[in-house]
Structure 1
Amino acid sequence: MKYTRVAALAAIGVAATLSLTACGNDDGSGNDSSSSKSSSSASAPSSSSDGASTSDGTSKPQAGNAKSGSGKGTEAGAAGGTAKSGGKATFCKTEDLAIDATDAAPDKTSGRINVTMVNRGSTTCSATGFAGVDIKDADNTSNPIGRGPAQPRITTLKPGDAAVFDLAYTIDNSGHSLSNPTNLQVTPPNETHTVTLNWPAGAGKIKGAYTDVEVYPTHTTK
């Protein structure tokens, strides 16, 4: 009887040991799987929306970021424009220009005076821009004329070439105009010397004040 009880207790102990071993193996398997996943996650390279990932987990800039903030293209364009402007002709001198004014009104209400400047010098010159113009009245007062809404055009004159600029105003047909112009005082673009011309014969009276007259930029006659 003692032998049978001892044998039974031994068998129970073996079974318990086997059961514990099996449980231990199940827990170990779960830990190994979790550890493997964690290790895999840690070793994977990190990504960034700002750039591509490298093998050490850092991010490098994309090619597009390297282009931002570059102004070399704009600077090169500006430099090119400056270089081209260096080859322009010098401005025409007043003493080298034959200047005359004529009435060129297209109708009975639109007043227009054409001022022609002929290059009588021996070299090519530029008459680009707005001429300075004052209208002298019979009472010996002078009134500067404002610029019309137009952009200057390149006006280069070879010897013998002509440039024209216009004065525009509204003609007063009422017979009650207060203006009585006698002369035009003209200063060519980028010059300081002035010539005095007679107010064109037959030109209509100016409606309003002299400040209502506008001068437009020069252009070639070709």
Structure 2
Amino acid sequence: MKYTRITALAAISLAATLSLTACGNDASGKNSSSQGSSSSASSSDGGSKSESGTGSASSTSSSSSSSGGSSKSEGGSGSGEDTKAGAANGATTTGSKVTFCKTEDLAIDAQDSSPDATTGTIDITMMNRGSTTCSASGFAGVDIKDSDHTSEPIPRGHAVPRITTLKPGDAAVFNLSYTIDPSGNSLTHPTNIEVTPPNETHTVSLKWPAGAGQIKGSYADVEVYPTHTTN
């Protein structure tokens, strides 16, 4: 009888232990589940904040980029319009192009203009007898013809050409310069001056001016200078 009571008590104690163990496991499970749920909720909230922050930054960046792009576009458009306007103004102020004077429209003559007995100067004048304004800027081509029927080209002097624009009736002049030989034994005997106006191909033959001093040396020692206006 005593053995039976001990056995029954042992069975009741074992049952109680198993019950407590089961309760502990259940509580532990609930706590674990609760923590997992809380962690999941926290993670979800964090993700939401992250997305919100990203969206805000993206929106700000997009807005800034859009604003900057619009500003640049407007600036570029303004610059282009200013450039076009400037080009248009330049085009309207350029004016019409002046053509070169043609030989047939020029009255050309030569005269002695020597300032003294040692410096020989021959002025060659070209007057515009045409009906339009023309340019006679630059060096004329000049050959001197000798009494032996030969001719020599005259080299250019060291001078910078000037702009020489001739209205109808205006005149331009250029000169030949040389040293006069007073001995009377010059080896040159010029008879004609062959003149081709600047930027032209047609030539006019002029008489060597009467009374002009003789040339010292050769025709290579004579120099031609660029045209300029007489005004």
> TM exceeds 0.5?
yes
| Structure with the higher fraction of residues in strand conformation | 1
Q: 2:30 aligns with which of 17, 40, 47?
A: 17
* Equivalent position of 2:212 in the other structure: 201
Q: 1:62 aligns with which of 72, 75, 79?
A: 72
SS at match of 2:96: helix
Q: d(CA) in 2 for partners of 1:53 and 1:197? A: 82
SS at match of 1:135: strand
Change (3 A) 1:106 1:207: farther
* Equivalent position of 1:185 in the other structure: 194
Deviation at 1:21, TM superposition (A): 1.9
Are 2:123 and 2:174, in contact at CA under 8 Å, matched by a contact in 1? yes
Deviation at 1:39, TM superposition (A): 6.7
Deviations 1:135-186 (A, max 9, x none): 1134321223355553341332443x432112346x487x898655443112
Are 2:196 and 2:204, in contact at CA under 8 Å, matched by a contact in 1? yes
Deviation at 1:19, TM superposition (A): 3.3
Q: d(CA) in 1 for partners of 2:142 and 2:123? A: 12
SS at match of 2:142: strand
* Equivalent position of 1:26 in the other structure: 39
Structure 1: unaligned runs, 5 residues or longer:
none
Q: 1:156 aligns with which of 166, 175, 178?
A: 166
Are 2:134 and 2:167, in contact at CA under 8 Å, matched by a contact in 1? yes
Paired residue type of 2:149: N
Q: d(CA) in 2 for partners of 1:168 and 1:35? A: 98
1:166 pairs with 2:175: yes
In our comparison, the structure showing a higher alpha carbon Rg is 2
Q: 2:96 aligns with which of 84, 99, 111?
A: 84
The root-mean-square deviation of aligned C-alpha atoms, in Å, is 4.7
- Please report the TM-score for the alignment, with normalisation by the length of structure 2: 0.59
How many residue pairs match? The answer is 205
Are 1:145 and 1:213, in contact at CA under 8 Å, matched by a contact in 2? yes
Change (3 A) 1:167 1:188: same
Q: d(CA) in 2 for partners of 1:107 and 1:16? A: 134
Paired residue type of 1:221: T
Q: d(CA) in 2 for partners of 1:197 and 1:154? A: 25
* Equivalent position of 1:116 in the other structure: 125
Q: d(CA) in 2 for partners of 1:41 and 1:62? A: 26
* Equivalent position of 1:128 in the other structure: 136
1:53 pairs with 2:53: no
- Please report the TM-score for the alignment, with normalisation by the length of structure 1: 0.61
Deviation at 1:10, TM superposition (A): 0.9
* Equivalent position of 1:221 in the other structure: 230
Residue identity over aligned pairs, in percent, reads 30
